[in-house]
Amino acid sequence: MTTGISTGISRRGLLTAFAATALTAAPTYSKAAGFLRGGGDIRRIRMYSGRTGENLDTIYWIDGKYIGEALNEINYFMRDWRQDEVIRIDPRNVDIMAASHRLMEVSEPYLLLSGYRTAKTNAMLRRRSRGVAKKSMHIKGKAADLRLSSRSVSQMARAAQAMSAGGVGRYYRSNFVHMDSGPVRTWGG
């Protein structure tokens, strides 16, 4: 959930509490592919944004179905904060991020450096850095740049690559990993 005060128990709150309890009893998987395909009854994503100061900790998938309200929270959290614009984030990208996080067996939330970017924001970043793609997956809501203080860029990239489900970029100098739901490819390695 995004940071805020709840005044009552909603159906969503009850489901989240139930699912969070189920997380501790969820089995571990020996093969990374299982995290994406049939990887249990729930999927959870936890992130923090240093830019906005917001936290996200939400169960976004239960028993084979995405939870619309949770996806809306993710869309808002991963918005282009510079332009304050929201787009639908590709749930496959959220799956890749969540499965990678789970594979690394960390409790620390991801630090989200960049999620959705408007074309205007992407053009501005391209003027500042040659590492920003002209047709970035960020513009389509299919990418995230993430960091964990408890894991190295190499460890994070290996976990994301184990998903065999999208693009993985290593940015050692800036200490982050790019994960996207585009074609399977790697760079920076």
**Measured distance CA(110)–CA(68) in Å, rounded:** 22
> DSSP labels for 92-129?
HHHHHHHHHHHHHT--SPEEEEE----HHHHHHHHHH-
Which residue, among 147, 133, 131, has the nearest Cα to 179 in the 3D structure?
Answer: 147
Please tell me which residue, 10 or 47, carries the higher pLDDT value. 47
Q: How confident is the model at residue 9 (pLDDT cuts 50, 70, 90)?
A: very low
pLDDT digits (tens, 9 = 90+) for 130-161: 777 778 899 999 999 999 999 999 999 999 99
Tell me the pTM: 0.77
φ/ψ of residue 3, rounded to 5? -60, 135
Locate 159 and state its tokens.
Answer: 């976990």
Domains of the chain, each with CATH number or no CATH? 11-187 (3.30.1380.10)
pLDDT at 149: 96
